[in-house]
Amino acid sequence: MAYQNDDLLAFRQLRAQAARKKQLETQRAALTDRCQVLSVQAEACRKARQAAEQEVATLESKGPMGLLYTIAGDKAKRLDEARQTLRKARADDQQASWDLAQAQVDLAQTERSLEPLAGCDSAFAAARQARATTLQAADLPQSRQLRILEEALAQGEDWFQRLTDLCAQCRAVLDAARQTLRLAERVEQFRTPSTLALLQDAADLTVQQQQKLDQNLTALLTGMEERQTQLEQTLDDLLAQDLFPSPVEEAFPD
């Protein structure tokens, strides 16, 4: 007979890999957002530097603008201020470029770390099922706990899907209410101040109600997702326990 804990090591290893993958995916999402923000900032700093360089070049030139500032008598002051602005703009531009480059390096490293974990989710799901089957067949006290957890998870998944569908319906109604208002405002026979005001009030009320409902449903979804995560954690903790005696212990009981 196969040792009942043969699947335990594989389960623990794959669980660790799945957790690592989830951590890296969260890190990748954060770094992707950071790269987008830093890219915008770097572009703004580049344009500011170019504008400052152009200002200094204009003041230093012997062209019409340079001559104009000379005649006005404040060329030296303007040039000094422009050079100070340029020094700061160059420093900001350099720092923004460095920050963006570092974030891009971190993102690339995260992507590389994720590559060997590409198939671990499905492998972990299979290992979890195999481990659960082993525990259920053993008919231990923990087997009953496992069945309760699995039933709670299945029920939670059903409610999560229902809430997700309800959220989609709510947002569709919200979009329809906004569209109705836009269409009504373009219909010629409704172009009286009192009718438009009535339509506006009714549409605003509908939109506000739907927005509130959407917020409540989103909060429920978040809470349900957190509950499911906690249940999965509890289930995996149970499956990760060494619940069976080893062959040596069976052969030489106390």
Residues 6+ apart with CB under 8 A from 41: 96, 99, 100
Pair 85, 155 in one domain: no
Choose one of 62, 83, 118: the last residue of a domain: 118
Structurally, the chain folds into a number of domains equal to 2
Choose one of 69, 88, 118: the last residue of a domain: 118
Q: How far is CA 54 from the centre of its chain?
A: 40
- In whole angstroms, what is the distance from residue 43 CA to residue 52 CA? 14
Token duo for residue 106: 């971190």
Q: Specify the residue for token string 């152009």.
A: 54
Contact between 213 and 170 (Cβ < 8 Å)? yes
Token duo for residue 208: 């506000």
Pair 99, 201 in one domain: no
Task: Evaluate whether residue 129 is within a structural domain.
Answer: no
Pair 61, 111 in one domain: yes
pLDDT, one tens digit per residue, over 191-237 is: 555 555 655 565 566 667 667 777 777 888 888 888 888 888 998 99
pTM above 0.85, yes or no: no
* pLDDT grade for 152, boundaries at 50, 70 and 90: confident
Contact between 207 and 178 (Cβ < 8 Å)? yes
pLDDT, one tens digit per residue, over 157-196 is: 888 888 888 878 877 877 777 776 666 666 555 555 555 5
